[in-house]
Amino acid sequence: MTTLDSHDKREVVAAIADLGTRYQPPPRWEARVWARVLRSELPTPPRTSWLRYLVPAVAVVVVIGVSGVLGAALWRTHRELGLVQTAVEDERDEVEQLRRDLVEARTEARRARVENARLHELASLRSLECADADADVGVGMDMGERPRNQLRRKSPQRTKLRPSVGVGCDAYDPLCGL
């Protein structure tokens, strides 16, 4: 056994060389090496590829994209249908309003006609009263007192009966209606 008393370089070197005899590898270490070798030669499962995560990610993105496009199209269609519906309803309201206006106008016209008829009737009655009161006054119509020379010049066919207006009196008769 090398001593280290002198601590000489040569002795240190020899002591280092002697260190090797102190340790022995564990028993059956060769069998353990072979076991590890065989284990390393076993087929290993394929390493997890990034494609394994890429494919589901792409699928999710595609599904979300298609859903979004379809949703947008549906929303746009729905909105356009709503606009058409609104336009139809507006038009229907307008037509209804026009119909009501027409009915009102007709009613108004009817009322005006009735009023007119009543006024005519009233005028007729007044004319009759005027005829009773003064025999000289024409009833409702006159021949038109025009100068004789004008009458002469015109043909008899052109001489028309002029209906009396207003209260049914002759406009040329200043006493009519008095």
Residues that bind another protein (rule: CB under 8 A) add up to a total of: 26
Interface with another protein, residue 13, by CB under 8 A: yes
In DSSP terms, 141 is beta-bridged to: 163
Interface with another protein, residue 23, by CB under 8 A: yes
Interface with another protein, residue 30, by CB under 8 A: yes
Cβ within 8 Å of residue 70, ≥6 positions away: none
The SS3 call for residue 93 is helix
Interface with another protein, residue 1, by CB under 8 A: yes
Under a CB-based contact definition with an 8 Å cutoff, are residues 104 and 96 in contact?
no
Contacting residue, 15, 123, 131, 139, with another protein by CB under 8 A: 15
Q: What is the DSSP letter of 105?
A: H
- 73-87 burial, b for 16+ CB within 10 Å, e for fewer? eeeeeeeeeeeeeee
Interface with another protein, residue 40, by CB under 8 A: yes
Residue (26 or 174) nearer to another protein, CB = 26
Interface with another protein (CB under 8 A): 1-4, 7, 9, 12-13, 15-20, 22-26, 29-30, 32-33, 36-37, 40
